[in-house]
A = this chain, B = another copy of it.
Amino acid sequence: MTGRDHRDLGGPTEKCGVVGVSLDERAAARPLYYALYALQHRGQESAGIVTHDGFQQHSHVEMGLVGDAFGEDDLDQLNGPVGIGHVRYPTAGSVNACCAQPFSVSFKSGSLGLSHNGNLVNADEIRDELAGLGHAFTSDGDTEVIAHDLARNLLEEDLVRAVKRTMSRIHGSYSLTIMHDDTVLGVRDPEGNRPLCIGEVDDGYLLASESAAIDVLDGELVRDVEPGELVILRPDGEGFDAYQLFDRENSAHCFFEHVYFARPDSTIDDQLVYDVRRDLGRALWAESGVDTDVVMPVPDSGRAFASGYADAAGEDGADVEFAEGLMKNRYVGRTFIMPTQDARERAVRLKLNPIKDIVQDRTVTLIDDSIVRGTTSTQLVQLMRDVGAEAVHVRIGAPPIVAPCYMGIDMASREELIAADRTTEEIGEEISADSLEYLSIESVAGALDQSRADLCLGCVTGEYPYDIDGETTDRDVERPTIGSEPAAADD
């Protein structure tokens, strides 16, 4: 239940997972492999691990799923008790092997490996500046820019100061795990846009995008890395040191991590994702509950929402049956041959099959987490009617997506977003639902137990917490200006 494959169904695409580990003596490769495996939902394009044995780096990066990218031999040659890993779905940079991560470079005083989750908004400026100093780049990815900048700073400063200087120059969304020679560190951008957490295992510590990666190693979640914080894992798995390098008044957590991207069993910024989703479902009933014969999740992503919604309905005394009336074919793969054009709209049925007995002659409420282009929703509503539903209501556990994401999530272009220029009522008509309701931003903030000012709501408001060319900046929140970065914590 780690999120349906939205690439197939037209939803937003998941984006990149990072991990870093420092152990006592045990080789880091296998723990990194299992951790990446637990983060596979965050990126399926490529997988990579870079370790260090005290003398040199070892690297293995390949296109494909974790299970396909690594063989026993590959893991065996990745020597050393420290390392970082990455699973990738492309954010910026071209989609090919050269951009798979971790990205490794050697420079004057050593080696650097970087794993990046997020998206910079000023990568081009930094790149131009470095190019002016003679730097040559092999890719057009953000990660190489960060690597070059950090390498240059390390010529003159110690590790903490060099990281701080680089963080003061780059602007945007980033959670990074970095290996400098055999030291593993983690950094979260000052707005804390993407998640990053610290875990403890028997013989060491790790950093990971989500706590589920700690769980599979039988470890304990220590805490989230704070926005603007640098965490350096000590050698031999002997703990970690933390440096609060930047301290902003407001953060800009991506609420969509909770709604959609993250695994339900991960705890992000102190909140269990599964609980948040059930609470969102409960709030959805409270805001716009409708009495129907049956409440039905769109699997797998709508399940927790629907469960909370149905529970709340039951508590209110509504006689609502919760049923799994849409069955998912778990063998949907990349190489599936689509029906010819005229039958394309039936394609959804190959992936989600309605159970006639549950739907026929009944009123139905479909619960999902989001609507992006609207194609899937339209097809699902039609499917319900095809098998005899009397009425079909749709309830969405998040606000309408009205604008693109520039922070690392490839939702769709503004033109493709069904909500970009339609009212909720118009969308409901477009997807032919008897009624459609979204959840309010206030309820989202409430379920997340966060102030609205601490969330990145760009995709549902069109106002962003970062300066983005051609887009409106979120004026309700005071944010520092790029280039005139003064707000570093003292050092």
Q: How far is the CA of A33 from the CA of B304 in the complex (A)?
A: 33
CB distance from A200 to the nearest CB of B (A): 14
Cβ contacts under 8 Å, A323 to chain B: 274, 307
Instruction: Say if the beta carbon of A460 comes within 8 Å of chain B.
Output: no
CB-nearest residue of chain B relative to A349?
A: B216
Contact check, B151 vs A147: say whether CB atoms are below 8 A apart.
Answer: no
Within the assembled complex, what's the spacing in Å between the Cα atoms of A216 and B354? 10
Give Cα distance in the complex from A357 to B279, angstroms: 14
Among A129-137, A190-198, A472-480, the stretch in contact with B = A129-137
How many residues of chain A get a CB closer than 8 Å to chain B's CBs?
A: 84
In A149-185, the 8 Å CB interface with B consists of 151-152, 155
**Counting CB contacts under 8 A, is A238 at the interface?**
no
A253 interface hit (Cβ, 8 Å): no
* Cβ-based interface call for A13 (8 A): no
Q: Which residue of B lies closest to A132 (CB)?
A: B108
CB neighbours (8 Å) of A37 from chain B are 329, 331, 336, 350
Nearest B-chain residue to A220, judged by Cβ: B356
- The interface residues of chain B lying within 8 Å CB-to-CB of A65 are 331, 333
Interface pairs (11), CB distance under 8 Å? A2-B328, A41-B329, A41-B331, A67-B336, A105-B137, A106-B140, A134-B155, A215-B349, A216-B349, A264-B324, A275-B357
Contact (A333, B68) CB under 8 Å given A272-B355, A346-B218, A350-B34 = yes
Given contacts A215-B353, A263-B353, list 19 more A-B pairs with CB under 8 A.
A2-B329, A2-B331, A67-B331, A68-B335, A70-B337, A97-B97, A105-B136, A107-B131, A108-B132, A130-B134, A134-B148, A135-B136, A264-B355, A265-B354, A272-B357, A300-B330, A303-B324, A307-B324, A330-B330
Contact (Cβ within 8 A) B355 A105: no
Contacting pair B132 A155 (CB below 8 A): yes
A317 within 8 A of B: no
Complex contacts, A107 vs chain B, CB 8 Å: 131, 134-137
CB neighbours (8 Å) of A314 from chain B are 314
- Chain B residue with minimal CB distance to A2? B330
Q: Is A112 an interface residue (CB 8 A)?
A: yes
Closest 4 CB pairs of A and B: A108-B131, A265-B327, A105-B136, A40-B331
Q: Is the CB of A327 within 8 A of B147?
A: no
Please determine whether A135 and B134 come into contact, CB atoms closer than 8 angstroms. Answer: yes
